[in-house]
Chains A and B, each alone.
Chain A
Amino acid sequence: MSGAQLLACILAVPMLGAIGVALTRHRPNLREGVSIAAGIVLFLLVATLAATISWDAAPTLVLAEPVQGLALALTPEPLGMLFALVASFLWPITTLYALGYMRAHHEQNQTRFYVAFAVSIGAAMGIALAGNMLTLFVFYEILSVATYPLVTHAGTDKARRAGRLYLGLLMGTSIGFLLLAMVWTWQLTGTLDFTPGGVFGDKVGSGMLSVLLVLYVFGTGKAAIMPFHRWLPAAMVAPTPVSALLHAVAVVKAGVFTILKVAVYIFGIDTIAGLAAADWLLALAGFTILMASIIALRKDNLKARLAYSTISQLSYIVLGAMLGVVAGAVGGGLHIAMHAFGKITLFFCAGAIMVTAHKTRVSQLNGIGRRMPWTMGAFAVGAVSMIGAPPAAGFISKWYLVLGSLDAQQLFAVAVIVISTVLNAAYFMPIIYAAFFKPEDPAQDQDAHGGGHADHGEAPWPILLALVTTALFAVLLFFFPGAPLALVQRMVAL
């Protein structure tokens, strides 16, 4: 298959998967089979593309030309390839997990769930492989709309309010700021292609560039940078597989990925370095990292704590992008992959605890590690990766981020990373300690069902298989970071 055909298939497979799921809606086993099969095929396609691609002559797939001179086109580049690999790899695993979770949790409307899920992944692929800003924006919006039914899956008043916040913030910022920034860029330069070194050249003054950068960063609401972060904790009302894949990997990463792409390919790293707004946004990212960590510290609801942890981790990537040095962009790019494996593991564990033990709060987890050793073991691995300690993947990206901060002589950024590491440890370590070393507290063992679940054991096997796999990768990537590192370094070398 040629590169362009591969690209077409990568876009088509999730959509075909969605149709397949809809057609097999009366036979749940077949339906989930279709879903997983689509995921595996998709990953194989993406992997083939990554293996065979030649970066000097990257294939391009032109879908249409909605604006004269501006095509809807897919062109892979290294960072996008990395994002696509991570998202497509985690999709079948999450589907496996969802299979266990949705059934154990007796969720309604599972067909709608799997259809929307597949469409969301398709949109994430479009974002990852977009050849220009317009294409990215189109898929960005499709992703917002496609995830809405997932966020509001429960159909309760709480879900409705969450959905309102979700769509309001994501669409409000993207239409209000991102679209404006994009049209403005197009008007100024006549191109929206992702160009190594940036598109502006010397044509545009630095004041204007600063305004544009701020518009781009705030317009990307999916990056959950403060003060546009509220949608992410709200979205935790969704079923856990959604929180895991979409709100730890696909959606939020689509946001920071957009910012990183804009920084590297629209502005250019060197341009960023000279912009006053970059310093300002750096400070905002640092503030978001610390603030979100502090809030996470105070959250008793496990998913909420993870959500704020995500907000904080996302801003690492924004911070890396705003440093304006190569190592910063490398660290940011790596963190997209590294954070993904750790955070999805953590969410898987939270979901496993919820369906098995019916516990959602941190304070209920005393002694649970003895009943669910695999789950909590994986949780520990994920937490270590979040903190950024060896031997977990998070260490690698944090290393590059610190390097970048030193390179850019941003002692502020170094300080932020160090303090936040301490904070990360402060909100994860007590959970692990309580789970393994504190005695069980029978009084806590009550839930909405009215009865205790004192006799529960481990989670169902699909759930376990999924979370052990992702935890394993979170460790493996520490020892073998070669492939993602090569891709990211390729990005800055272009």
Chain B
Amino acid sequence: MTLLDHLPVLVVLLPLFAAPLCVLIDRARPAWLLSLIASLLSLAAAITLLMQVSSSGAIRYQLGGWAAPWGIEYRIDLLGAYVLLIVSAIAPLVMVFALRSVEKEIPRQRIARFYAAMLLVFAGLAGITVTGDAFNLFVFLEISSLASYAVISMGSDRRALNAAFQYLVMGTIGATFILIGIGFLYMMTGTLNMIDLAERLPAVSETRTVRAGFAFLTVGIGLKLALFPLHLWLPNAYAYAPSAVTAFLAATATKVAVYALLRFLLEIFGVQFSLQAMPLDLILMVLGLAGIVSASLVAVFQQNVKRMLAYSSVAQIGYMMLGIGLASTTGVTAAILHVFNHALMKGALFLALGAVAYRIGSVTLRDFAGLGRRMPWTMAAIVIGGLSLIGVPPTVGFVSKWYLVLGTLEQGLWPVALLILLGSLLALIYVWRLVEAAYFGQPPSDAATLQEAPLSMLIPVWILVGANIYFGVYTEVSVGVASRAAIQLMGIEG
């Protein structure tokens, strides 16, 4: 076997082994360099994997050579490779950005450990996307969650600690629910392998145990992905975490949870069971819509911009849930596509906010007064990211919205389409509050010395902004893979 054959496991092992090395090095710059290299290598592996999977189908990899029922199998299909690519593309960008940002926000002697924890988050998220084993998924979920509690708590504001603790409690309850759900499935089928589960479940799907397991899994994953109304941990956690952490988590963590939901609902339980026998399609649609409208409304009234965007994330997750709830190929395509697109926009926005925080120290609406003139590039990035959030063409937000509206209209649900567009208008309002503050507000008098953010921050921000526009126009990759993955998911049971 060549190195290429071990890619599925390498993509996880690289950050996993780099993490303890960071702790051993215990110096800020070398630890940063190591994290950057590890994440770049993972990115290379992820790109190769996506190309392999795209051309020759799903890759299966037996860990340690043990065959599937006993050993843990890694299995990467199109959806997994797609989400893996998102995670591992965001990671190096965030690492580049983190260099300066973290030096400002975190005491020096903790920086190496910070990078170690970031790598663990990354490893956990990557692991979720490659594993083909339900229990292994739980373990990776907990690796990433535990590490993310730690990195969130490193925020310089003391409220970060409380936010991290709240997240820990909610997250652990969610994880335990997932564990129970997996246990119930194991009880009924005697396997933890996802493919075996999918084969054996239909025979026993009429039992109460399976239904209970289904409910536990859905609620547990719902907690992890901040499905309205299980999102209460998210706004504070995002608002007070270090800037780089917020950007990374917002762009990847909830996305991977959406991936886990898709995996369990559509592949393991199957479309027939999840969205037709169980009324989950309706539940997801209603909760999605409620999330879109209510979280967008709350976002309009926030003074802290980071928290405003955090609420916006809850609303955007609503779009994804709505897409799944449509239970059609177009709907699921829209959901998967929005996973990708939302990672781009929120990544860009939170990184740009990090640049503002780097220069000013906080990110309340008042701090933005006059920023349009003093940090033109950062603000331009925020404007474009914001337009993408609203769904203005030619940005990725528009493409997402197109498919989502198309999905609702296919089923004649025009009131739902109207609500989706209402969400866009609410986004217009909260984005424009920011724009007006930045371009019309009077800067405080002591701000004369304020400069544009350093290049090492602007470059990752603008790479993401560029991606927002590029993938809004050239959608062969983003839409193409998403729709193929959706067809695979929906096609499993016809």
Contacts and interface: CB of A to CB of B under 8 A. Distances in A.
Interface stretch (B224-232, B256-264, B316-324, B475-483): B475-483
Interface of B: 387, 390-394, 398-399, 401-403, 405-406, 409-410, 414, 417-418, 421-422, 424-425, 428, 432, 436, 439-440, 472-476, 479-480, 483
Contacts, number: 89
Contacts of A160: 436, 440
Interface string A163-180: 110011001100110011
Given A175-B421, A179-B421, A187-B406, A138 B394 contact: yes
Contacts of A485: none
Given A175-B425, A186-B406, A68 B440 contact: no
Given A64-B473, A66-B398, A180-B405, 7 more contacts: A66-B473, A67-B403, A67-B479, A138-B394, A145-B387, A175-B425, A176-B424
Given A142-B394, A160-B440, A175 B474 contact: no
Nearest to A159: B440
Contacts of B390: 171, 175
Contacts of B410: 187
B425 A141 contact: no
Instruction: Among A137, A160, A171, find the residue whose CB has the most chain B CB atoms closer than 10 A.
Output: A171
A53 interface: no
Contacts of B432: 164, 167
A63 interface: yes
A168 B387 CA distance: 13
A56 interface: no
Interface of B, secondary structure class, is: helix
Contact of A179 (B405, B440, B483): B405
Contacts of B472: 66
Interface of A: 63-68, 72, 137-138, 141-142, 145, 152, 155, 157, 159-160, 163-164, 167-168, 171-172, 175-176, 179-180, 183-184, 186-187
Contact of B399 (A67, A152, A168, A175): A67
Given A67-B479, A152-B440, A187-B409, A168 B474 contact: no
Contacts of B394: 66, 72, 138, 142
A176 B425 contact: yes
B365 to A, nearest CB: 14
B475 A66 contact: yes
B399 A66 contact: yes
A180 B392 CA distance: 13
Interface of A, secondary structure class, is: helix
Contacts of B483: 68
Nearest to A140: B393
Given A137-B393, A168-B428, A171-B428, A183 B406 contact: yes
A463 B483 CA distance: 56
22 contacts: A65-B475, A66-B393, A66-B402, A66-B472, A67-B402, A67-B403, A138-B394, A138-B398, A141-B392, A152-B440, A164-B432, A167-B428, A167-B432, A168-B428, A171-B428, A175-B390, A176-B422, A180-B414, A180-B417, A184-B414, A186-B406, A187-B406
A186 B418 CA distance: 16
